[in-house]
Structure 1
Amino acid sequence: MNATTEPLLKAADEAALSPAYQRKIVLAAVIGNLLEFFDFTVYSYFALTIGHQFFPADSQVTSLLLAFAVFAVGFVMRPLGGIVLGRYADRAGRKPALTLTILLMAVGSASIGLAPTYAQIGIAAPLLIVVARLVQGFAQGGEFGAATATLLEMGGQASRGFRASWQLASQGAAALLGSGLAASLGFLLSADTMHSWGWRIPFLLGTLIAPVGIYLRRHIREEPPAQRVVADRDDPKRGVYVRNWFLTIFAIMGMSVSTYVMMYYMPTYCIQYLGLPPKMSILAGVASSTISLVMCPIYGAWSDRMGRRKPLTVIGRIALILLLYPAFWLMTHFPSLPVVLGALIVLMLFYTMGSAPAYALMPENFPKHLRAGYMSSAYAIAVSVFGGTAQLVAGWLIHVTGNKMAPAWYMIGCVLISLIAVSLFEETGNKAID
């Protein structure tokens, strides 16, 4: 923060809410994200079991790919949810949109946890899983934009980066919660029990988050929707907003692929391609999640002082690009738990550096009355096209090339494109918004 803009930000902070209420706002905004990525985590960790239960096939690889394909199906509905629910959040308000999204996500999670298997009801079983993923995808499409807008708008101007970073930190918290629960169940229950019904426990427990989220979100205080600015089709900056929308898609692409490979695909990768025991492989997800949870708020707070785009976002992504190949080389040539954990920790340190400040940078480049809609749709498209297919693409690339290094090359390409995109955003860390 520089001397010329500091008085402006301090003046804006005079109207900020109390610290206790700001903490409540952060929790209310990120709890939907927590449920979303908790569900992603447990689905990823139990993908092998889900494949056997719902998608029986002649080979284990085919069964697993079918399970990941259904995981990706949920992302098909994300763009529609982003457009519909993002627009709803801009017009009706953040609170009703956030309440609706978490309710729909809980319904989808419960449906997966209670679904009969293929052996019990035949083809209806995988169809039920597909419908549940579609409902979740629609809700998740609108979740990001409304929640991020809430984090930016409700609180002090000078701490926007710190608050927005909790969107990414909550992914780490959810993955840590999911991986920790999966690890605990793996140690407490036998393999047969886990395969039979133990895998359902995390999905059903995840639905308990919903009532808490609905309670918190219904008590958010926001300005009446009638007082909101109506979007002007003749706005001279409309072209700038469209440009920023495209930049957001490509900026999120690298983050999304990195997240889904390092935090969700890695346990399956360790088991299937590195030959590590399942119980030990889950620790790879725990390590990645812990770094995300701890470091994102730190980098977010630093971005309030140092700026969003430079140096943190740019340096973090450049370092990640340079380290991906040697990290995967070490893991594939020395497949042991210490090597895998060490490589993942280093990668995650720079991934969070390049990503946490961007969670404020991107939405700050849109005006308040359009922020949720633009962010939800851009995020939904990027995550649907690149994030939702990351595990499927990584597994497919290894299968067709026979090269266990293939995921690294795919990540490098996506992060490089996202680096170019974030470099083109206007710096907003030292400016008051709205």
Structure 2
Amino acid sequence: MTTNDTQASAPAGGPDLRARRKVILSAMLGNVVEYYDFSLYGTLAVIISHQFFPSGDTMVGLMSAYAGVVLAYALRPLAGMVLGPLADLKGRRFVLILTIVVMSVGTAGIGLLPTYAAIGVAAPVLILFFRMLQGIGASVEYTTAANFIFEHERGNRRNYLAGLSVASTSVGPLLATLVSFAVISAMPTEAFESWGWRIPFLFAIPMALVGVYIRRHVDETPEFKQMAALAEQNQVVQTPFRTAVREHWGAMLRAIGLGAGQRVGSFVIQAYFVTAMINAGFAASNALLASLLTYAIGPVPAVWGGKLADRYGGRVPLIVGYGVFVLVTVPTFMAIGSGSLTLAVIAVVVFTFINNFVGAPLTTAYVMSFPPEVRASASALNYNIGTTALGSTAGLIAVWLFGLTGTNTAFGWYMTAICILSILVAIFAMPPAVDEHRRAAVAES
């Protein structure tokens, strides 16, 4: 079965309006759960370091907690090698139900886990195990959800739909921060550190139940159905992972380089800004409030960037967004260390605005750079390699550089260099899929 065969047989029309809305809702809700889970761990990293790791050196405990972030993401490429091909073979919907269940078991497990004081060394071992479950579940969630949306509705608003997907990734952290802030504000510090911190983790259970219910009541994508039917009719032995690696490694490398700066920025927002502000002397409640504001504004630039990418092509928002990142990243960390809460809040909000602004065309590049028969495998692999190598290590590198230099500015220079790399890819090696649908629309007009 060839790519052209599959694309030629793609349906001309999409599902009705109600069905399209259900598809978008089901995909976005999974993103909400994924990013709730992961950002919650980063948001409460300081508390986790106290609860599940030996007391003594605060920096060692915090770095151990961030090691859980790295471990969860280190597993993502490996899990993606299994679940990505599974989505190409068994269906996007099947894998989307599986991922939301596994992610939520990991999150709820952390909320039920006894502390280091209760069970000793088993506590850090078990928390790392549950982080592994989160990493496995999240390995293909975002890319498969975006794929699910694209394959149900492939018109001239691809980047807009990608922007909605990116916007949903702000809703999860927003909920995580809101729930954490509400619990912290509602009870004494001693009670929160004793047992109250468990509440935000257990909140993942009802979210997951709603997500599974909705995903069970949406149809598989028409494009996957036709691809599977052609493979069965022609008796094709499908090897999506091997085909992706052998025939599409160049496109995967371009996607990884293009998204490098945003991957670092995303995990700074999700897993480090709160810690950086606390280290700079701000109260934990103020740090959480700043984090809350970043997630509240996150959906706006995501959708705006998607609309601009559909109108002018993906290269424009990417070069503009990364260019601004180069200018403001170091000043952002200088503002956090200034001692001024106003400056720190403005800095992290602007940082988040830029990071989400470039998200839609990046999502299109991650997913649509590949033909349908290997799309889930290739998108999971390129997204997770970039996320693991660059994103998941951001918090750990930031903590290490802070301990080495006594300032967060050093990490700002690190991220600036990564953003320059992404600008070069956008200028000289842009994946064609980012602008492909726009060129088609122009040709038709």
Q: Report the TM-score when normalising by structure 2.
A: 0.88
- Aligned counterpart, 1:283: 289
1:117 to 115, 118, 126: 115
Structure-2 change in CA distance of 1:37 and 1:236 (3 Å): closer
Measured after TM superposition, the shift of residue 236 of structure 1 is 11
Task: Give, in whole Å, the separation in 2 of the partners of 1:128 and 1:228.
Answer: 45
Measured after TM superposition, the shift of residue 253 of structure 1 is 2.3
- Aligned counterpart, 2:6: none
- Aligned counterpart, 1:5: none
Measured after TM superposition, the shift of residue 198 of structure 1 is 0.8
Contact 1:148 1:372 in 2 (8 A): no
Task: Give, in whole Å, the separation in 2 of the partners of 1:194 and 1:247.
Answer: 45
Query: SS state of the match for residue 14, structure 2?
Result: coil
> For each residue in 1:30-56, what CA deviation from the matched residue of structure 2 results, as whole angstroms up to 9, or x when unmatched?
222211211122211211111111102
- Aligned counterpart, 2:4: none
Measured after TM superposition, the shift of residue 132 of structure 1 is 0.7
| Matching residue's letter, 1:168 | V
Task: Give, in whole Å, the separation in 2 of the partners of 1:351 and 1:158.
Answer: 24
Match status 1:193 vs 2:183: no
| Matching residue's letter, 2:95 | A
Match status 1:430 vs 2:435: no
- The worse-fitting range, judged by mean Cα deviation, of 94-103 and 261-270 is 261-270
2:45 to 23, 47, 50: 47
Query: SS state of the match for residue 157, structure 2?
Result: helix
Query: What is the RMSD computed on CA atoms of the aligned residues?
Result: 2.3
Structure-2 change in CA distance of 1:228 and 1:387 (3 Å): farther
Task: Give, in whole Å, the separation in 2 of the partners of 1:130 and 1:380.
Answer: 19
Structure-2 change in CA distance of 1:392 and 1:237 (3 Å): closer
Measured after TM superposition, the shift of residue 302 of structure 1 is 2.5
2:101 to 103, 112, 123: 103
- Aligned counterpart, 1:141: 139
Measured after TM superposition, the shift of residue 240 of structure 1 is 6.6
Contact 2:157 2:307 in 1 (8 A): yes
Task: Give, in whole Å, the separation in 1 of the partners of 2:168 and 2:425.
Answer: 24
- Aligned counterpart, 1:226: 228
> For each residue in 1:61-83, what CA deviation from the matched residue of structure 2 results, as whole angstroms up to 9, or x when unmatched?
11111111122211121011111
Contact 1:250 1:417 in 2 (8 A): yes
Task: Give, in whole Å, the separation in 2 of the partners of 1:79 and 1:403.
Answer: 32
Where do 4+ consecutive residues of structure 1 move more than 4 Å? 228-233, 235-240
| Matching residue's letter, 1:141 | S
Task: Give, in whole Å, the separation in 1 of the partners of 2:115 and 2:424.
Answer: 45
Measured after TM superposition, the shift of residue 193 of structure 1 is 0.8
> For each residue in 1:166-217, what CA deviation from the matched residue of structure 2 results, as whole angstroms up to 9, or x when unmatched?
2321121111111111111111111001101111111100121111111222
2:320 to 305, 311, 315: 315
Measured after TM superposition, the shift of residue 232 of structure 1 is 8.3
Task: Give the gaps of 5 or more residues in structure 2.
Answer: 1-9
Contact 1:308 1:429 in 2 (8 A): no
- Aligned counterpart, 1:255: 262
| Matching residue's letter, 1:287 | L
Residues 289-368 of structure 1: matches in 2 within 5 Å?
289-309=295-315, 311-333=316-338, 335-368=339-372
Task: Give, in whole Å, the separation in 1 of the partners of 2:355 and 2:68.
Answer: 27
Task: Give the gaps of 5 or more residues in structure 1.
Answer: 1-11
| Matching residue's letter, 1:388 | S
Structure-2 change in CA distance of 1:429 and 1:361 (3 Å): farther
Task: Give, in whole Å, the separation in 1 of the partners of 2:440 and 2:88.
Answer: 20
Task: Give, in whole Å, the separation in 1 of the partners of 2:321 and 2:230.
Answer: 36
